């Protein structure tokens, strides 16, 4: 499922290249298009994603959800290591490698975050951040069907990022792979349930500004002059990767 969505997002990103700039906001020249896609995602979220996430929370004890969160976070260490190396951060790559080895063994396939208990801090890097470090501009803000907020640079990196996912190479059947990816999407949406109360005003603008500020924070490794608004502190960009 995520493989299919990644391919769809890549195709839509290429389509965005041909769209004219119609809005005054330099960050969001395709606002009209983006708002339409945002509205579509909101409908899908209201009638599909959110009810499924609520049901998932209802049937899954907290310790189970914590284990699932740790498991997917551990899988994310691999692309983080690759992008650390591409960004010439060998120390960070070594730390993420250590986290992966410790949590995959002592932590029972990543279900237990033993590395954090050992004060080995987690961080996340992806190809979009790597391209930014290499000097590639973010390009306009875009909203991708099902996947939500992004930028042209980040959207073009979704498919390559997926190629680094260990799930692609696991000895699973196609149905099992889609099941794992679907669980990842549902779990991500469930993690947003407690944060819905933070959203205020124009939801489209809130999502856009939160995503762009959060990505800027991540790309600069937290070294930014402007602090986030209080309401943005509880968000990170990965929360916006999957609206459905």
- 154-183: pLDDT as tens digits: 998 888 888 888 888 888 898 999 999 999
Name every residue whose Cβ is closer than 8 Å to that of residue 92 and which is 6 or more positions away in sequence. Answer: 80, 84, 123, 125
Euclidean distance between CA atoms 216 and 75, whole angstroms: 24
What are the pLDDT digits (tens) for 56-89?
A: 999 999 999 999 999 999 999 999 999 999 999 9
CA nearest to 239, candidates 78, 45, 8, 93: 45
Q: How far apart are CA 158 and CA 140, in angstroms?
A: 16
> Nearest to residue 57, comparing CAs of 189, 177, 244?
189
Return the closest-CA partner of residue 129 out of 214, 244, 208.
214
Task: Report the C-alpha gap between 222 and 225 in whole angstroms.
Answer: 9
In this prediction, residues 122-148 reach a mean pLDDT of 95
pLDDT band of residue 221 (cuts 50, 70, 90) is: confident
Q: Are 153 and 131 in contact (CB under 8 A)?
A: yes
Give the confidence band of 41 by pLDDT, cuts at 50, 70, 90: very high
Cα torsion 194, 103, 128, 3 to 10°: value is -80
The average confidence (pLDDT) of the chain is 86
């Amino acid at each position: 499922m995520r493989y299919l969505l990644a391919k769809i997002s890549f195709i839509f990103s290429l389509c965005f290249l041909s769209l004219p700039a119609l809005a005054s906001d330099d960050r969001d020249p395709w606002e009209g298009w983006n708002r339409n896609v945002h509205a579509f995602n909101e409908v899908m979220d209201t009638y599909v994603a959110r009810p499924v996430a609520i049901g998932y929370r209802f049937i899954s004890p907290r310790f189970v959800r914590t284990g699932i969160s740790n498991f997917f976070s551990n899988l994310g260490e691999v692309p983080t290591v690759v992008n650390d190396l591409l960004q010439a951060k060998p120390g960070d790559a070594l730390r993420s490698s250590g986290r992966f080895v410790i949590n995959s063994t002592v932590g029972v396939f990543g279900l237990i975050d033993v590395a954090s208990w050992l004060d080995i801090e987690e961080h996340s890097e992806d190809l979009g951040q790597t391209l930014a470090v290499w000097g590639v501009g973010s390009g306009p803000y875009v909203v991708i069907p099902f996947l939500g907020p992004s930028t042209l640079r980040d959207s073009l990196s979704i498919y390559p990022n997926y190629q680094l996912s260990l799930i692609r190479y696991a000895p699973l059947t196609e149905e099992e792979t889609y099941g794992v990816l679907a669980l990842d999407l549902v779990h991500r949406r469930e993690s947003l349930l407690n944060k819905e109360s933070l959203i205020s005003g124009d939801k489209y603008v809130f999502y856009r500004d939160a995503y762009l500020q959060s990505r800027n924070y991540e790309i600069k490794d937290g070294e930014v002059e402007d602090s986030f608004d209080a309401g943005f502190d509880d968000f990170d960009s990965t929360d916006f990767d999957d609206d459905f």
